[in-house]
Structure formats: structure tokens, C-alpha cells
Chain A
């Protein structure tokens, strides 16, 4: 079975500051890992994904994440926050070669202060 823990339900940063959203996973088999962003009353947009290729994954809008197996982590970062980055972010995991279910973390709301 897979699970995801997102540390920090709310993160607040200043515009231009580093964004770091934490995600730890648990999986009995090699995982696929995803980060999604959700704006109010909208669906989910994929930021980036790890599918067992490069461990450092670059996504859209300047975001990137690094898969660290030893730490069971997949933290999301962005060097410089923009006001438009304010949204809800979800980390999710599915199992390679197993169930297709996508299991979500509880989400982290990112606030960007001017």
C-alpha cells in the first residue's frame, strides 16, 4: 500500500523567496510520484512527476523536485516565489506495475506575500 505525508498544511513565503514544500511517501514497491497544483474551484494541474528516470525532476513554472529513496522524500522547490504560485499543492504516489490508484497527501496551501 502507498501513502503520502505532506508536512505543513500551510506554508507562507515572501515574493522572491525560496519555496519548499515537503512530501514523504511510503510504498512497498517502487513508486511513481507526482506534484499537482490546484487553484480554487478547479481541477488539478500536473507540475512534475517521477517515473524512475532521473531523480531530479524539473517541472513547469520553475518548480523541481528530487526523489530521495533513502529519505523516502520528494520535496518540491522553486528558487523564487511569484504571487501567481499561491495555490494548494498536492503530492501523490502510485505503485509501479501495481494498482493504478493515485494516493494523495492532504495538501499544502502556499501563500505568497508581497
Chain B
């Protein structure tokens, strides 16, 4: 149970274009979704926290206008990288908070973004 499906698993795009990454909670309602960025051989850096039906909360230093997060439903959150540049190339991972007795977090399988 508590599975988050993340798509696409990898994407290559041209500089200046936008890319949308989707995370869906398959068997539970994800009221809170977290978006992380991971550089090669490094840890996960929290980019933003999104709550269903409200604006995302971004971490310090994360550009809100570049990384658009939408959490319009309890089962879907999206991250759109706008006007992508090569420095945006990274591994992006979403995570949902599991509430109740089985407290914890479940992670998507990640999206490898390469901007050329």
C-alpha cells in the first residue's frame, strides 16, 4: 500500500522549454506532497511542500517561478520546470506523507531530467 507513481522516469528537453513531472498517489490520498532535487552523488534537497488546494511552500533559494508546483487534487501533484536550462538537469523525486498508524513517507521512483 501507499504507492506513489511518478512519471516520466526520464526526460530530455531542449533549453527554454518546459517539462512537467507528475506524481500520483495510487491507493491513498496524499494531502501533502514534497518535492526533492538530487544532484549526482549527493543527498536529497527539499524544494517545496505542497498541500492539496493551496499554494506550495518553497524552501529558501528555490525559484517559485521556475519550479511551478500544482496540487489540485488529493491524488495528483505536478512539478513544472519552466524555461529549463542545462543547470536544471537533475534527479527529481516526489514524496507523500502517510498519515495515521503507519506514519511515514513514501517516495516516487524519480525523474531524471536532462536539459540540452
Given A100-B97, A102-B95 in contact, is the A44-B43 Cβ separation under 8 Å?
no
CB distance from B73 to the nearest CB of A (A): 19
If over half of B's interface residues share one DSSP class (helix, strand or loop), that class is named, otherwise mixed; here it is strand
Contact indicator per residue, chain B 90-116, by CB within 8 Å of chain A (1) or not (0) = 010101010000011111111010000
Q: Is the interface of A mostly helix, strand, loop or mixed?
A: strand
Which of A42, A94, A100, A106 contacts B43, CB < 8 Å? A106
Taken together as a complex, chains A and B put the C-alpha atoms of A109 and B110 apart, in Å, by 19
- Which A residue's beta carbon lies closest to that of B97? A100
Q: Considering only CB atoms and an 8 Å cut-off, how many residues of chain B contact the other chain?
A: 23
Q: Are A101 and B49 in contact (CB under 8 A)?
A: yes
Count class of interface residues, chain A: 20 to 34
B34 near A41 with CB under 8 A, answer no
